[in-house]
Structure 1
Amino acid sequence: MAAYVQDAIMLLGDSITQGGYEFNGFAARLAHVYNRKMDVINRGYSGYNTDWILPVFEQIFATQHEQQHVPKVRLLVIWFGANDAAVPPKEQHVPLPRYKENLATLIWMVSSPDSPRYSPDTRVVLLTPPPVNTLQWSVRQASKDPPQSLDRDFEVTRTYAEAAKEVGAADGVPVVDVWTKFWEGAGKVEAELKKYLTDGLHLNEEGYAVVFEELTKTIAEKYPKYHHDNLQFVFAPFDQICADLPHYKEITKKRSAFES
């Protein structure tokens, strides 16, 4: 008899995703509400952009043949753009057209029957990069040894957030607009983005709380079948286990004999 493998949610992104398991991060919150329903697989890679993630994704997402031996990824959450939007000559920079192409490729890899990694069981959600607070980030850059110049731009990051939404619309994939949610929450004042950001780029607890709420709201609206409130425990709760089940009685009998 084959062992049962629990389904999963895969989070694919950069350091903002990698940090999602920090205290009350969005990944930690997801793991809590999906506990015993679906596993949360965090595949966040600090510093990565969409160019660098493509060959990695080919290694971490199972091919069609392999999928019968691993957990089914029911939700794939893709969150890139914060590094792609770095200002040249920063090595992380990915030109806007290629960023859009890379996002579309990631979606194609799991949604197209022509892809070796086609997964008809997988539903995709895109997240836009959050706005960057250059006031905070410039302080961080200046504090390095040796000091570094500002390598992010508020308006440039905004264009990458808009591009992510365009890709989602073109491919029929829901998008969590983190950029707009943070910007409006900050009263459209860049300095006030510190409400959500630790250093101008990475999220604090409040920022992750917003992402968790918006992501779960999107899942409820677009993929209600996979919202945590609509899923049952994989194995029955303890109070539903019947004491007169044959295997339970047999285990009890053997335990009693052993203890005597």
Structure 2
Amino acid sequence: MAANVQNVIMLVGDSITQGGWEPNGFAQQLAYVYNRKMDVINRGMSGYNTEWIIPVFEQCFATQHEQQHAPKVRILTIWLGANDAALPGTAQHVPLPAYGENLARMIRMVTSPESAWYSPDTRVLLLTPPPVNTYQWRERQAMKEPPRGLDRDFAVTQSYAERAAQVAREEGVAVVDIWTRMWDACGRVEEQLSELLSDGLHLTEKGYAIVFDEIIKTISENYPELHYDRLKPVFPFFDQINYDDPRSSLTRMNAFD
């Protein structure tokens, strides 16, 4: 494999993924542990659902023809559903069957040899949407100008999380079950989700810590070769430099060699 190949992690999702760059967000934590080995590309789009993200994904993920000139995506996280699960009548709502079909379509874009975006070196992690705290979200909606009604439902969001997990199993990719992990972490009491959710929908630092831990756990169990401890630095550590002839030891390498 060519030494100058750049390897990256791509994060695709909605505002919860976009917010992964917040202090101690999961994207920031991934960038830290994979530092000098793989870069993190965040393509979280606030407010987006699976219908709207697909055209974006088609433009952000390199086609087979383009991949020889683009960074190699080794890990792809797909995290959508929080907006799809908005109640019918809202602009963001995507019916449950269509939501599942959209997730499967995105996965197959990368995993199917017949796809223009086929990338055999990419490993997909499908994250389930987190639980919604309707107590918090109701308060947030009421504070808007003009005030808005409740457009999320706990049980509905749970059904979207279950559908995401089912799609992962059907498509043969790893699932990161954020819904169950966060629900267990709050003692399965909706009001106590306030420790993990800042407004009933978006995550706190503690919530993102759970996401990061679950992603690393899933990588360890399903794609151990991609764990950050298994990869080499692209450039050598300082004590490995040839001090008499530094340039000779500072050639960019591949973390997977």
Q: TM-score range by the shorter chain?
A: over 0.9
| 3-state SS, counterpart of residue 64 of structure 2 | coil
1:86 aligns with 2:86: yes
| 3-state SS, counterpart of residue 9 of structure 1 | strand
Shift of 1:229: 1.1
Seen in structure 2, the aligned counterparts of structure 1 residues 133 and 235 have a Cα distance that, compared at 3 Å, is same
- The residue aligned with 1:73 is 73
- The residue aligned with 1:257 is none
Query: What are the superposed Cα offsets for residues 160-203 of structure 1, whole Å, 9 maximum, x if unpaired?
Result: 00000100110111111111111111111100000100000000
- The residue aligned with 2:254 is none
- The residue aligned with 1:244 is 244
- The residue aligned with 2:126 is 126
- The residue aligned with 1:9 is 9
- The residue aligned with 1:101 is 101
Shift of 1:242: 1.4
| 3-state SS, counterpart of residue 187 of structure 2 | coil
Distance in 2 between residues matched to 1:123 and 1:3, nearest whole Å? 21
For residues 1-260 of structure 1, the aligned pairs below 5 Å read 4-245=4-245, 247=247
| 3-state SS, counterpart of residue 68 of structure 2 | helix
Query: What are the superposed Cα offsets for residues 18-41 of structure 1, whole Å, 9 maximum, x if unpaired?
Result: 000000000000000000000000
Q: Which runs of 4+ in 1 moved over 3 A?
A: 244-249
Structure 2 length-normalised TM: 0.94
Amino acid at match of 1:206: K
Query: What are the superposed Cα offsets for residues 219-255 of structure 1, whole Å, 9 maximum, x if unpaired?
Result: 0110111111111101111110112338469xxxxxx
Unmatched runs of 5 consecutive residues or more in structure 2? 250-257
| 3-state SS, counterpart of residue 125 of structure 2 | strand
Amino acid at match of 2:102: N
Worse-superposed segment, 234-243 or 19-28: 234-243
Aligned-pair identity in percent equals: 66
Seen in structure 2, the aligned counterparts of structure 1 residues 121 and 143 have a Cα distance that, compared at 3 Å, is same
Structure 1 length-normalised TM: 0.93
Amino acid at match of 1:97: P
Seen in structure 2, the aligned counterparts of structure 1 residues 133 and 172 have a Cα distance that, compared at 3 Å, is same
Amino acid at match of 1:140: R
Amino acid at match of 1:244: D
Amino acid at match of 2:60: I
Query: What are the superposed Cα offsets for residues 107-154 of structure 1, whole Å, 9 maximum, x if unpaired?
Result: 000010100000011010000000000000000000000000000000
Distance in 1 between residues matched to 2:246 and 2:133, nearest whole Å? 62
| 3-state SS, counterpart of residue 65 of structure 1 | helix
Amino acid at match of 1:82: A
RMSD (Å) for aligned C-alpha atoms:
1.4
